[in-house]
Chain A
């Protein structure tokens, strides 16, 4: 069945790079997403990648997709304390209809000053 897995916790120093990893099972996924959730808030769309791409860069964010291994990663350059949050990886489960996303459990990113 459809499943998305992430490591639960990552701690980095301010100014370092953070890499959050995710694996998924549905090879028919059209889009893969990264969302950020701060305490008591909803989900903020950070970035997404189409499944036929290998990489996407958006300012401090770099997404890498290895479709063969079904592995997705999010790299945050020059991590700041404001980046502390829970990061969710998600895949769209149906081609042509992206309303249903399958989310991972979330990775808590702790940024130490």
Chain B
């Protein structure tokens, strides 16, 4: 049983570019949440997708957007990249919005130069 898988594992971009990160949830999970973890910090909630709609959003600008597909996989898009967007981006999945079990992938390390 594959866990939460994310791609790519590492990515280097330059300021102003756009990036798309991908996540496949754990089998049987239909809810996907995205987090940003800056170096030396705890993860910060970006948003959550359920039934292909954004359900909750953290304190992130509109440059951060997402999508969920019918197979429950998800994408995180970041436009107009800033140096401060350099971080580990983590995807988490759960079997439903109300489930207490949240499982994380290994993340995508994004470096913005």
Interface residues of A (CB under 8 A from B): 4, 30-31, 33, 35, 41-45, 48, 50, 88, 90, 92, 94, 96-106
Cβ contact within 8 Å between A42 and B107: yes
B56 near A97 (CB under 8 angstroms)?
Answer: yes
Query: What 7 pairs between A and B have smallest CB-CB spacing?
Result: A103-B42, A99-B48, A42-B106, A43-B104, A99-B33, A42-B104, A100-B45
Asked if A98 and B94 sit within 8 Å, CB to CB, the answer is: yes
Residues in B whose Cβ lies below 8 Å from that of A98: 94, 97-100, 102
Interface of A (DSSP majority class): strand
Interface size on B, residues (CB 8 A): 28
B86 adjacent to chain A (CB < 8 Å): no
Which of A30, A41, A43 makes the CB contact (< 8 A) with B100?
A30
Is the beta-carbon distance between B58 and A100 smaller than 8 angstroms? yes
